[in-house]
């Protein structure tokens, strides 16, 4: 935690890795729009950083940028191209930061310089207006989409996210077809009646616990009875032929 050097002199935990000064959200938007900003504790743990866009690997200073609520910075054309490449029916909650998976759209009740600057930028994109609760625009009023941000070697056209630095895969919307492969399947070796009962027991864990306890108690009684019967059969005192005091009637 430190004191920001802007005229407002606010206490803040944010730290600019490039200029090595404490920053608040106000001067973060006005004076450090393309800087890598994290907490001061993260700076002490690892001061290494990369001033490049995680999607295209080009320097952030080459193009217009946008900062998300998680303080990750991207080229605006790269982020817009990445969002347009998502499935058309992706819900607003499915739009996540390509680097850390944080929320892309700011909540309606969230106030602050970073949130307001992000809302102002997202209003200019047709794909982002539904996530902000704004009405769709007609084709005649369609806002121009920003051009894609090419990779330094010219190999990326903005149609798919690139792998950011640090070896982490970019976040993407979940694939429902992939989820179906790992969905729990019913036990095929059980008869249909037992499948229904097992499903009912799984929905009522207390009932399953009581039935399991009763079955364990019954098994314990059976084992104790068998053990007592075996001890009684092996006792020579209970054998009539070996006991002279026992008279066997004719």
- The three-state DSSP-derived secondary structure of the chain is CEECCCCCCCEECEEECCCCEEECHHHHHHCCCCCCEEEHHHHHHCCCCCCECCCCCCEHHHCCEEECCCCCEEEHHHHHHHHHCCCCCCCHHHCECCCCCCECCCCCCCCCHHHHHHHHHHCCCCCCCHHHCCCCCCHHHCCCCCCCCCCCCCCCCCCCCCCCCCCCCCCCCCCHHHHHHCCCCCCCCCCHHHHHHHHHHHHCHHHHHHHHHHHHHHHHHHHHHHHHHHHHHHCHHHCHHHCCCCCCCC
3-state SS class at 15: strand
- Residue keyed to tokens 């009646």: 193
Residue of higher predicted confidence among 5 and 186: 5
Quote the pLDDT of residue 160. 44
Tell me what pLDDT residue 106 has.
Answer: 92
User: Range with the lowest mean pLDDT among 9-23, 40-54, 129-143?
Assistant: 129-143
Q: Residue 164: its pLDDT value, please? A: 42
* % of the chain residues with pLDDT over 70: 64
Question: pLDDT tens across 49-105, in order?
Answer: 888 999 999 999 888 999 999 999 999 999 999 999 998 888 888 899 998 889 999
pLDDT on residue 75: 94
CA 189/CA 2 separation, integer angstroms: 64
- Report CA-CA distances (Å) from 165 to 51, 52, 53, 237: 10, 9, 9, 85
Q: Domain coordinates of the chain in residue numbers?
A: 1-49, 51-167
Residues 137-185 have pLDDT tens digits of 654 344 555 555 655 444 444 444 444 434 444 555 445 454 454 455 5
Determine if the pTM surpasses 0.75.
Answer: no
For the segment 26-44, the average pLDDT, to the nearest whole number, is 87
pLDDT at 156: 47
Q: What is the model's pLDDT at position 77? A: 93
Looking at residue 7, its pLDDT comes to: 76
Residues 216-234 pLDDT 10s: 989 998 888 888 777 666 6
pLDDT value at residue 231: 66
Q: Which comes out higher in pLDDT, residue 109 or 156?
A: 109
């Amino acid at each position: 935690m430190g004191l920001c050097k802007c005229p407002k002199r606010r206490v803040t935990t944010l730290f600019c890795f490039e200029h090595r000064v404490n920053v608040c959200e106000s001067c973060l938007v006005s004076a450090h729009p393309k800087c890598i900003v994290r907490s001061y504790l993260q700076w002490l743990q690892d001061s290494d950083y990369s001033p490049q866009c995680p999607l295209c690997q080009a320097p952030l200073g080459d193009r217009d940028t946008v900062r998300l609520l998680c303080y990750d910075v991207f080229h605006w054309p790269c982020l817009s191209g990445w969002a347009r490449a998502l499935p058309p029916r992706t819900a607003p909650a499915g739009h996540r930061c390509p680097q850390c998976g944080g929320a892309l759209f700011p909540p309606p009740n969230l106030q602050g310089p970073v949130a307001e600057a992000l809302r102002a930028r997202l209003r200019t994109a047709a794909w982002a207006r539904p996530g902000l609760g704004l009405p769709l625009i007609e084709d005649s009023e369609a806002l121009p989409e920003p051009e894609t941000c090419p990779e330094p070697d010219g190999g990326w056209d903005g149609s798919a996210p690139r792998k950011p630095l640090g070896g982490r895969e970019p976040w993407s919307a979940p694939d429902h077809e992939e989820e179906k492969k790992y969905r729990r399947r019913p036990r095929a070796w059980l008869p249909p009646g037992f499948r229904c009962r097992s499903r009912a027991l799984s929905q009522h864990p207390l009932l399953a616990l009581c039935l399991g306890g009763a079955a364990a108690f019954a098994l314990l009684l059976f084992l104790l009875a068998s053990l007592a019967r075996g001890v009684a059969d092996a006792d020579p005192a209970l054998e009539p032929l070996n006991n002279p005091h026992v008279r066997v009637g004719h």
